[in-house]
Chains A and B, each alone.
Chain A
Amino acid sequence: MIEVEGLRKVFRTRRGPVEAVAGIDFRVGAGEFVGYAGPNGAGKSTTVKMMSGILLPSAGRVEVCGLVPYRERKRLARRMGVVFGQRTQLWWDLPLEESFELVGHLYRIPAAERARRLRRLEEVLALGPLLEVPVRSLSLGQRMRAELAAAVLPAPQVLFLDEPTIGLDVEAKAAVRDFLRELNRTEGTTVILTTHDLDDITRLCSRLIIIDHGRLIYDGTVEALRTAYGTTRVLVVDLVEDEPLELAGAVPVRAEGRRRWFQFARDEVSAAELIARLLATNEVADLTLEEPDIEDIVRRIYRGETPG
């Protein structure tokens, strides 16, 4: 569905050339749900712009739906949906239903087909009561649901999403995620999700691509990332008494009153062993075991740490 090969983009600025994307390769198959992450300025949006035909690559090859984006921009536009979380694709001053009608004409969706799809989208995204409301009067959560409906109304083969859950409350986030999961499952839409919200990625994406400084630094499943990088776990101990505590095989990383944090390597010592040692020497009020947080892992990757 998407092929990216040796993709580069160099911007000329007053302070000389800046390489925003410095040679990236990946392939995305039809129906994949890919998270695309990276710190600010990593080259995420530049890559997405090259995939959607907004920017011409400086070098390398990009193909989406079998089309060369910048050369066949309009044809690709018919097969592609785009949602930029911060900006609207809807007609601000008009009732929502008019936006859907315009999208229908713009993408030449036959009237019957449009009505059928719209009925389903209205139901899934609970848009019914909003149809007559001008877009500018919608709440952010309502608007994001409407944006998604407008983007997928033409049944795109590929959907580019940029921060679709930014600023949304818990409930609205869940609604957006549920919808995307369903869309990907039932229609087989390929989704590229650019986000800072790693929660989005762990809940939705089968695959994660991380780039930094214009280079690909991780491409694989979220699970594989956890096992590659997340080899340390943390045992949190609540002592009965405030007393010094040492634990063989684990490193104390934090202490707060009677609560202590110990980090240990998964392959050196098991949690059970560690807890047994602890209970033999101290009186313990409570225990919790913290698995590596994907957010921590990604932060470590951004800092340039290697697996282990």
Chain B
Amino acid sequence: MVAEALGVYLRLAAATVRATTRRPAYLVVRTVAAALIVVLEVAGVALLLDRFGSVGGWRPAEVLLLFGMAFAGQGLALVFGNSLEAEKLSELVRRGTFDQVLTRPASPLGWVVASYVDTRFVGRMLAGAGAVVWAADRAGVAWTAGRAGLAVLAVTCAAAVVFGILLAAAGFTFVTVQGSEAVNVLVYGGLYLASYPLQIYGSALRFLFVWLVPVGLAIYVPALGVLGRTGPPGLPGWLAWLVAPVAGAFLAAGGLAWRAGIRHYVGTGS
């Protein structure tokens, strides 16, 4: 049953990808552009950090590792969740496309995600992963299976948190039918803040992005392990065990918000 349902969404996603590959040049240009943005941004930050020498006691290469993880996580989340962004989703609602989704024998979330898979963001994800490898090399990280696992953990959990934010925002969009800038603050602001070592922030900001919107927790704590550093007071290395459950819980909360949004849309809620 589950496998069958999953099969349908995979087919849908495959159809979406096939549709984009019908114009290969366009696809390549868009993917490369998405990757290039990451490369330029990382290069810019690298140049800037070299002038400072260190941030919160971290060498530039170590900070860039955080940047790479944030970009890779965001890219991964957007491959699947780009259609949940407020302006795109409100467009679907206003044009009546979402009504049609509701007449399909499928979960609306599965349908929307699979129908708007955007491979362009694979470019962003790969560029972010490339930045991680490059920064780790410059920081002198000796890769082990455990450290590689932590890097993957950071990227997937950051992606889960971003996806959770997008889901919650989408739930909100169903109520307002209007895009909300507040979401961009959380997605992009949170990721940007998590691209620097958390110890440089005040306790309120740190608490927000470690425990409430745990994008900071997802990136920073595994990065400590990859770099072989000990965390500041209050953020010990063993928190790495909590990253997946906390990110998972956040994602689930986002899922609940999405469902509440659908209920409101159909008129069963509120």
Contacts and interface: CB of A to CB of B under 8 A. Distances in A.
Interface in A60-75: 70, 73-75
Contacts of B8: 105-106
B97 A87 contact: yes
Interface residues of A, number: 31
Interface in A256-280: none
Nearest to B20: A93
Interface string A74-111: 11011010101011010111100010001001111000
B100 A77 contact: no
Contacts, number: 68
A35 interface: no
A52 interface: yes
Contact of B15 (A49, A80, A87, A91): A91
Nearest to A49: B99
A74 B105 contact: yes
A54 B15 contact: no
Contacts of A53: 102-103, 266
Contacts of A93: 19-20, 22
Contacts of A107: 105
Contacts of A39: none
A245 interface: no
B11 interface: yes
Interface string B1-45: 000100110011001001110100000000000000000000000
Nearest to B115: A91
A166 B137 CA distance: 63
Contact of B267 (A56, A82, A102, A108): A56
Contacts of A94: 15, 18-19, 22
Contacts of A9: 267
B51 interface: no
B96 interface: yes
Given A87-B97, A93-B22, A56 B266 contact: yes
A77 B105 contact: yes
Nearest to A154: B105
Contacts of A108: 4
Interface class of chain B by DSSP = helix
Nearest to A77: B105
Most buried by A among B7, B96, B103: B103
Given A56-B266, A56-B268, A92-B19, A105 B100 contact: no
Interface string A35-62: 0000000000000010011111010000
A74 B20 CA distance: 29
Nearest to B23: A93
A77 B19 CA distance: 25
B22 A105 contact: no
A86 B99 CA distance: 13
Contacts of B4: 108
B99 A102 contact: no
A292 interface: no
A27 to B, nearest CB: 22
Nearest to A88: B100
Contact of B95 (A56, A73, A77, A87): A87
Contacts of A78: 105
Contact of A70 (B22, B106, B268): B268
Contacts of B102: 52-54, 73
A93 B267 CA distance: 33
Contacts of A105: 7-8, 11
A134 interface: yes
B96 A84 contact: yes
Contacts of B19: 91-94
A121 to B, nearest CB: 19
B266 A102 contact: no
Contacts of A73: 102
A54 B97 CA distance: 12
B103 A54 contact: yes
B15 A102 contact: yes
Contacts of A74: 105-107
Contacts of B266: 53-56, 70
Interface of B: 4, 7-8, 11-12, 15, 18-20, 22, 95-97, 99-100, 102-107, 266-268
Given A54-B103, A58-B267, A105-B7, 4 more contacts: A77-B103, A84-B100, A87-B97, A105-B8
5 contacts: A53-B103, A56-B267, A77-B106, A105-B8, A105-B11
Identify the 6 closest CB pairs spanning chains A and B, nearest first: A93-B19, A56-B267, A77-B105, A82-B103, A78-B105, A56-B268
